[in-house]
Amino acid sequence: MSTSSVPRPGSTAQTGPAHPAPGRRVPSGLVPALVLFAAVRLAGVAAVALANHAVGRPLVANLAHSWDARWYLHIATHGYGDLILITRKGAVQTDWAFFPLYPGLVRAVTTVLPLTPGKAALAVSWTAAVVAAWGIHRIGDHLYGRAVAAALVVLWAVLPQSVELTIAYTESLFSALAAWSLYCVLTRRWLWAGCLAGLAGLSRPTGFAVAAAVLAAGAHEAVRRRGRVPLALWAGCLLAPLGWLGYVLWVGRRTGSLLHGYFQVQDAWSSRFDFGAGSLRFVKDLLLHGGGFVYAADLVIVAAGLLLFGLLCLDRAPLVLVVFAGVLVLVVAAGSGSFSSKPRFLLPAFPLLIPLARALAGSRRVRPAQTVLVVGALAVVSWLFGAYVMAVARAPL
């Protein structure tokens, strides 16, 4: 992997400067990429709507009130400490397992706009998805040029699990904060990188992946320059983990166990770091006894994520991107919990798509028709899979 925060000399040539030139407000290729992203995801929503209609489900209720979304909406409406669930095994699940930034934004939107919490949650998620695609495009353009940037955004849009960008979940918000924090590291805006990483840490349990990436990049920069780094770097590294640590300690204080309380809360949700034991049991059971289509598809998605991480490392991507993607891959592979939720944990790990995006951008120049056909096929698979998991499958997202 490369530890540099700037494009490598041997990389695909950039078509434009890392920062817009004076008078050039919109980077070249950004608007078409975002329009294509929005079109793909809106088509995905249409596919879910058709599937919901076929099975007699209302669209908005399905998008805004599925699984964890109900907990977020309850927090947005009533605050924390007002909802618990006792499982069949006697575990007490509380709303403290859910981080506060997303429901806080939903509450803010309902305060200023005449929207229901469900519609406000979708507005936050959809807006954040576009902001995330914008940040992903800027990273791709900064490192490899606008052709790779566009391919990166499109590939992210057609992932099978990308339907979760359009429901009331935190993946869109987390992806947006992560993408822009990583971009700020690559462009050496350390204070902004730290602030955005801190907010990412308030968005979901895996938010510490952004802080880890910022800290790793900052440590490498300090070593490389023998400590002669700007004060903003130290400040950014200090700020990066504060959001995640702050919420973890707040939950610990509420539960009466400052250091262990949060992890006890997560344990009630069967969410813990078990070094992959749970994942191995799942794979064994699936191979020996079979399972539903969704679980087999989830296994393929996770296996593809592991393969793509290897390719990302071989591609010598910048350290900050490798660390961010690596932490998310590690959480997915070595963490317990419902296996059907693991693909969405990988959704924010957009750096995994960089090797594919570079290959796609290269093939587009040589075989444009074949490239369009491949992207179109991936989009159809994404739409069908999203419609199936939202309207037909019973597996938790």
What's residue 272's pLDDT?
84
Poorest-pLDDT segment among 192-201, 204-213, 357-366? 357-366
Higher pLDDT, 181 or 396: 181
Q: Give, in order, the Cα–Cα distances in Å from 218 to each of 17, 240, 330, 333.
A: 24, 11, 21, 26
**Mean pLDDT for all residues in the chain:** 89
Average pLDDT score over residue span 365-387:
91
- Residue 25: predicted pLDDT: 63
Q: Stretch 334-362: mean pLDDT, rounded?
A: 92
Predicted TM-score of the model (pTM):
0.91
pLDDT cut 70: percent of the chain above it: 93
Q: pLDDT tier at 277 (50, 70, 90 boundaries)?
A: confident
Over the stretch 19-67, which tens digit does the pLDDT of each residue have?
443 334 667 789 999 999 999 999 999 999 999 888 888 877 788 888 8
* pLDDT at residue 48, as a whole number: 92
Q: What Cα–Cα distance (Å) separates residue 397 from each residue in 107, 230, 279, 310, 340?
A: 23, 43, 16, 26, 6
The percent of residues above 90 in pLDDT, for the chain, comes to 69
Q: Average pLDDT, stretch 303-316?
A: 95
Q: Say which residue, 128 or 227, is predicted with more confidence.
A: 128
Q: Above 70 in pLDDT, residue 271?
A: yes
pLDDT surpasses 60 at 294: yes
Region 274-301: what's the mean pLDDT?
A: 85
